[in-house]
Structure 1
Amino acid sequence: MTSDMILPFYQALTEDVNALSAQVPSLAPDTLHDIRREALDRFTALGLPTLKTEAWRYTNIQRYLKEFPYELLTTATPVAAEAIDKAAIPELDCYRIVLVNGHLQADQSALPVGKGITVGAMSAHTDAPGFVTYFNKQHHLVNESLATLNTALFADGLYIELAANTVIDKPVHIVNVYTCERHAFIQPRHLWVLNKNTTATIIESSVHPETTAVAFANSVLETVIAENAELWHYNVQQGEESFREVHTTAAQQHNNSRYHHFNFTLPNTPFTRNNLTVALNGSHTETNLNGLYIANKSQHVDNHTFMDHIKPDCHSNELYKGVLLDNANGVFTGRILVHQEAQKTNAFQQNNNLLLGSKADINSQPQLEIYADDVKCSHGFTAGQFSEESMFYLRSRGIGEDAAKALMVNAFSHDITEAVKVPALQHYLQVQIAEIMNN
């Protein structure tokens, strides 16, 4: 149950569920109100995570929730075009979707259009085939208390559905704007459905206009990659001191599908928690998870991944790297579960870290749980500092210490950035990394 420490906050949340559920149309055969109420009951049973919760043993979220008296924010705040333009990626030819606190801003967006492409607000698509079939159906969300809270209280989000045999001709850039006049708790909810033989590249980034108020986003994304579909998903998290985030992604793959997920967490946001679960619920799937987190000051970055191998003949590869500066703290928990039916599974996981701050630290927990006997699985973890020999080599050739560190971080992160298949985004990330290390 929820602790007394944050009971007033919890009471404010529960009091809002009835008002929020009335804002979204009914979902047949069950109403969305019933789904919300079930989720709220589930959240009440689970409570907010504590340090005694195994998946949160290194992350004290209650510390951040009790920082300020947050209010539940269910509307969009007007945002100037100049603020949104700050999220632009130079030389990127793309469609642009602007969301403010999870609400679609059609007048500031350039939406992808064409036969077989459906893009719009979640609240306007509750009768869409993909919504009826897949909304809130991913079982991995059931035991995530903050995901159930989002289900109970979300106001809106982005709905994407591609009909069979549809290909979006260029990347879709989603700009997530989070802004508020008073400290706010924000609940965006998204659903992307890629039906059979579809392909899409989606890039997410965020903008936080200058404000003295703190925005805490608890966002949930459900993704479905159907038979022979392919999704490239890039999430670039660039925050400010006035932002905290819990970002949950639940992906479901079907036969012969391919899912490539990249997560880049860059400095300044005090608290970031990423929950990523992938259900390989079809044979002959390919899954690639890549992550790079660079944290500074007293920043806390927690990446929690779960690769659920359910069916046979699937391949997954996961590589997460961290660079921790100053007093930053990193957490990586990567779990691979291979079910008995999932024979001929290939699953590989690696987490490597550079500790460059005097008080920087990392808690890493790679985990393998295997119930099949015909598999190839491995995991690994490293943490260390720069090689003294490499530093001496660079310094002896007239390269200053800061420049040498920047070069070595660039080399350390190269196999992550090199895997980015959008040239403009790859260059943008490389520039951002260089600027971080040179400041």
Structure 2
Amino acid sequence: MLLEKTKLLDQYFDEVLKEQQQIDLLLGDPVHPNLYSLRDMARQSFRSKGIPHSGMEDWKYTPVRAFVEKILRVKDGYPKYSSSAADALQLEKSCYIMVIIDGKWWPHLSDPILTDSLEIASLDQVSSETAKIAHLGAHADIEHPFAALNTALFSDGIMIRVKTGVLLEKPIYLVHISMGEINPMFYPRMLFVAEKHTKVTLIEKFVVSDTSIYTVNNSVSEVVVENGAEMEHYYIHTENELSVNLQYARVILDEGSKYSNYNFALPGSPFIRHDLHVSMRGTGAETTLYGMVLTSKKQLVDNHTCVDHSVPDCISNEHYKCIVKDQSTLVFNGKVIVHPDAQRTNSFQKNSNLLLSDDAVINTKPELEIYADDVKCSHGATMGQFDSEALFYLTSRGIRENTARQMLMEAFAAEIIEVVPDEMVKQYLKNIMAEHL
């Protein structure tokens, strides 16, 4: 029976890839003609590797096939979008709101952009003559199976460009809504460019419509932070049990740029896989990666990060904290690579885990690859349960044990939440974390 399911899923993707290839041949590339050869290579790459399996080092703890195969069991017909879904979002007024449904940007549901300092456009409407569109497809690694699948199949997406010298006062807030309106598996594609000496905050929140069927969101982002630019980038996962999220992001940092990523995953989606690859390509670049993961039930959350130091005098700082409950599984793999020319690199990485159930599982693997001799690098991972002395101290002062446990979990999570610089996001995270702890 398992073999039959395996063949069925492989046949499904093969048919989808063939159909898209025929469209490309007949009508040309749906986004840009210069992507045609890249999409063909991506199709070949996915076909040669197939859906990841436990024999692949980066996927050994992540049975992705078991989650993805559910797309073959959807019922005929798909729900239609209703205005109530937008009303339920409770969008903050202090942001530029961009609504993306099943990977497609909906301008009429989004805020109008009334400033010349910011360009937001659908990828299929951006001229191939626009200089920044050259980044599209140039950075995502099609050796990654799902990045290859996205590259082969995406038909639309969004480009956000902050123009040179602009310090954007309002955050850009992308609300990704999974509905399965056209297809249960969809392929959002994002290109974010912060031009020289700009400053921007980008918030991405992932939600599921109440009318959704089981969906798989396979997204790819290419992020370019040019000389002297600064970007704060947030991921907030609040999906429910109807959505699987496969997320790949490649970040390029030029000279003197700064990129900070804050990744928050909460109970809900049965499976979240997040691949974040940061490439330091300009001297004096800095990156900070923070994550807070809270899992429950039989949820599986897998975070793979890679910081690639290829030039001198760069700084990276990473800290992921995870609270794992019930029968859930947590996977963390953080890699730092310091190439021979990356002298005077300063890199720190840590993964801290709180295990709250005998049935929960944590697989953590911090890695350092150092090929330069003048560096300061460290990494480590910790794993444990509640501090018995702290728990005893609180209960001995009349605090109920359940309340004491919640206080300790909040204190554990606070270290990550408190470093969030955006006060609006910080308060929001405190509120939603309190609901789940």
Q: Same fold (TM over 0.5)?
A: yes
Structure 1 residue 41 corresponds to structure 2 residue 44: yes
Partner of 1:94: 95
Write the distance in 2 (CA, Å) between the matches of 1:376 and 1:115.
42
| TM-score normalized by the length of structure 2 | 0.93
Name the structure 2 match of 1:186. Answer: 186
Structure 1 partner of 2:125 = 124
Displacement after TM superposition at 1:427 (Å): 0.9
* Gap change, CA 1:307 and 1:20, over 3 Å in 2: farther
State the identity as a percent: 33
Shift of 1:398: 2.2
Q: Distance in 1 between matches of 2:117 and 2:430?
A: 35
Q: Tell me how far 1:207 sits from its aligned partner.
A: 2.0
Residue 70 of structure 1 deviates from its aligned partner by 6.4
Q: Secondary structure at the match of 2:330?
A: strand
Contact 1:26 1:33 in 2 (8 A): no
In structure 1, what residue type is equivalent to 2:390? Answer: S
C-alpha change, 1:199 and 1:77, in structure 2 (3 Å) is: farther
Q: Deviations over 1:128-169 (max 9, x none)?
A: 53443211111x513211101100101211111122112222
**Partner amino acid for 2:116?**
K
Any idea what the Cα deviations from partners look like across 1:245-298, whole Å, max 9, x if unmatched?
101111000000000001000001100000000000110011000001100000
For residues 221 and 23 of structure 2, what CA distance do their matches in structure 1 show? 19
What's the counterpart of residue 65 of structure 2?
62
**In structure 2, the residue corresponding to 1:301 is in which secondary structure?**
strand
Alpha-carbon distance in structure 2 between the residues aligned to 1:184 and 1:245 = 12
Matches within 5 A, 1:116-265: 116-127=117-128, 129-138=130-139, 141-180=141-180, 184-211=184-211, 213-265=213-265
By how many angstroms is 1:243 displaced? 0.5
**SS of aligned partner of 2:372:** coil
Give CA-to-partner distance per residue, 1:394-428, whole Å, 9 cap, x none.
Answer: 11222222221221111111121111111121111
For residue 88 of structure 1, report the CA deviation from its aligned partner.
Answer: 3.3
Aligned residue for 2:34? 31
Distance across 2 between alignment mates of 1:113 and 1:128: 23
Q: Are residues 1:408 and 2:411 paired?
A: no
Shift of 1:181: 5.3
Q: Residue 110 of structure 1 aligns with which residue?
A: 111
Q: Does 1:387 align with 2:355?
A: no
Cα distance in structure 1, aligned partners of 2:260 and 2:91: 20
Residues 306 and 335 of structure 2 are in contact (CA less than 8 Å); yes or no, is this contact kept in structure 1? yes
Counterpart Cα distance in 1 of 2:117 and 2:127: 17
1:185-242 per-residue CA deviation (whole Å, 9 max, x = no partner) reads 1111110111111111011112211246201011000000000001000110011010
1:332-347 aligned at under 5 Å gives the runs 332-347=332-347
Task: Indicate the residue corresponding to 2:86 in structure 1.
Answer: 84
SS of equivalent to 1:66: helix
Matching of residue 4 in structure 1 with residue 3 in structure 2: no
Q: TM-score if structure 1 supplies the norm length?
A: 0.93
Give runs of aligned pairs for residues 256-335 of structure 1, distance below 5 A: 256-335=256-335
Deviation per residue, 1:13-34 (Å, 9 max, x gap): 212313554485563xx53333
> Secondary structure of the equivalent of 1:168?
coil
189-198 or 296-305, larger mean C-alpha shift: 189-198
Q: How many residues align?
A: 429
Q: CA deviation at 1:78?
A: 4.6
- Alpha-carbon distance in 2 for matches of 1:70, 1:35: 31
What are the ranges of 5 or more consecutive residues in structure 2 without an aligned counterpart? none
CA distance in 2, matches of 1:199, 1:128: 25
Measured in 2, the distance between the counterparts of 1:195 and 1:212 equals 37
Contact 1:112 1:168 in 2 (8 A): no
Task: Measure how far apart 1:311 and its partner are.
Answer: 0.6
